[in-house]
């Protein structure tokens, strides 16, 4: 049986997936996408009971699977892609699938079939997306104003301050922080698991990449120069005087609206339409750009952001986004080998 299994009804779904998992996924080429929708299932392990419940859900929704591909089948990461035909109202469907995924212990990501392809431009938030830290919070802790900065952040989350107001207040508290201290901190910032693999694979695919961050250019350029294959950087500039932060802000501040504007400007400069662009982020200020492209992936995001973003990945590394481009582990490995040559 071919790993790119075709099936006319729901009953064999679990059986077909189980049989396909026994095949050499690394050598399999995923089927061409011909259906209007794709549903990607990601799980540490996939059990027959989960697949039976998913099949029952699809039957009740009148969503017809037309093909199944196993994109990954290895310890700790199993990925199944279903092509679906049916009258699907996207917003209602993705929320229902988020709820079902929580119930079954799976991640279920819905997207239009034509978006199962490599993008031409990928835009990323930096803090808690490409790196495992919120830099401004880390600086505040070192400066001894961590609690004050945290309270301002909480106030912004409650809607009492917008991002620009909260950013200016937090920067004032960092007045006097030295550039020498920043240079010591930068090498210690942990990279998000999967970030380097994802960016190298995107470069091998010919995709341009951008950091669009409410953080700082100082750290974004450090990542670009030392760790991450990034083409463009847009973030907030730190203002120094005598080797220390002034506490001031250099306009324009990169907030959610500016991220969305920058994404559109970069795409226009590259001659790309928005359906050739994806965006990835974790915060509420990422939602404007997540709503623009072919895919808007909330990564390890808070429940509110996950519920509003078009797509979401929670329990895997950043490179799991490659499965939403229709790539199998074998194809991803080949891209990474090519990028190393």
d(Cα 317, Cα 192) in Å, to the nearest integer? 7
Which residues partner with 216 through β-bridges?
236
Q: Burial code of 181-194, b = ≥16 C-beta within 10 A, e = fewer?
A: ebeebbeebebbeb
> Which of 2, 9, 127, 162 is the catalytic position?
127
Instruction: Tell me the CB-side half-sphere exposure of residue 178, using CA atoms within 13 A.
Output: 4
Instruction: Tell me the CB-side half-sphere exposure of residue 269, using CA atoms within 13 A.
Output: 10
Q: What is the 3-state secondary structure (H, E, C) of 107-165?
A: EEEEEEHHHCCCCCEEEECCECCCECCCHHHHHHHHHCCHHHHHHHHHHHHCCCCCHHH
For the question of residue 255 being annotated catalytic, the response is no
For the question of residue 9 being annotated catalytic, the response is no
Alpha helices by DSSP H, 194-284: 195-204, 217-226, 256-269
> Which of 125, 255, 282, 319 is the catalytic position?
125
Q: Burial code of 15-52, b = ≥16 C-beta within 10 A, e = fewer?
A: ebbeebeebebeebebbebebebbbbbbbeebeeebbe
For 7, other C-beta atoms within 10 Å of its C-beta total 16
Ramachandran assignment for 221, one of left (phi > 0), alpha (psi -120 to 50 degrees), beta (any other) = alpha
> Which H helix or E strand runs over 102?
helix 90-104
d(Cα 98, Cα 306) in Å, to the nearest integer? 9
d(Cα 157, Cα 169) in Å, to the nearest integer? 14
For 317, other C-beta atoms within 10 Å of its C-beta total 17
The residues annotated with a catalytic role in the active site are 125, 127
């Amino acid at each position: 049986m071919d790993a790119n299994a075709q099936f006319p009804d729901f009953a064999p779904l679990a059986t077909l997936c189980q049989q396909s998992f026994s095949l050499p996924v690394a050598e399999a080429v995923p089927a061409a996408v011909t259906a209007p929708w794709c549903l990607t299932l990601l799980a540490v392990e996939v059990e027959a009971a989960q697949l039976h419940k998913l099949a029952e859900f699809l039957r009740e929704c009148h969503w017809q699977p037309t093909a199944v591909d196993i994109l990954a089948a290895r310890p700790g990461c199993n990925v199944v892609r279903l092509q679906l035909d049916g009258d699907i109202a996207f917003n209602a469907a993705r929320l229902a699938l988020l709820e079902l995924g929580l119930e079954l212990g799976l991640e279920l990501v819905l997207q239009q079939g034509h978006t199962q392809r490599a993008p031409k431009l990928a835009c990323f938030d930096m803090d808690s997306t490409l790196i495992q830290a919120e830099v401004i919070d880390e600086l505040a802790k070192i400066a001894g104003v961590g609690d004050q900065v945290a309270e301002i952040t909480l106030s912004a989350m409650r809607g009492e301050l917008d991002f620009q107001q909260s950013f200016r207040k937090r920067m004032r508290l960092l007045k006097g922080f030295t550039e020498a201290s920043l240079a010591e901190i930068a090498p210690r910032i942990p990279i998000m698991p999967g970030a380097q693999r994802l960016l190298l694979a995107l470069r091998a695919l010919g995709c341009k990449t951008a950091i669009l961050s409410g953080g700082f250019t100082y750290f974004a350029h450090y990542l670009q120069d030392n760790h991450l294959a990034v083409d463009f950087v847009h973030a907030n500039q730190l203002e120094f005087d005598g080797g220390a932060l002034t506490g001031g802000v250099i306009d324009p501040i990169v907030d959610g609206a500016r991220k969305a504007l920058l994404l559109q400007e970069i795409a226009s400069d590259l001659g790309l339409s928005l359906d050739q662009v994806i965006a990835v982020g974790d915060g509420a200020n990422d939602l404007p750009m997540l709503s623009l492209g072919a895919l808007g992936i909330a990564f390890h995001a808070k429940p509110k952001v996950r519920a509003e973003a078009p797509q979401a990945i929670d329990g895997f590394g950043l490179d799991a986004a490659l499965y939403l481009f229709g790539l199998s582990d074998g194809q991803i490995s080949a891209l990474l080998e090519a990028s190393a040559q």
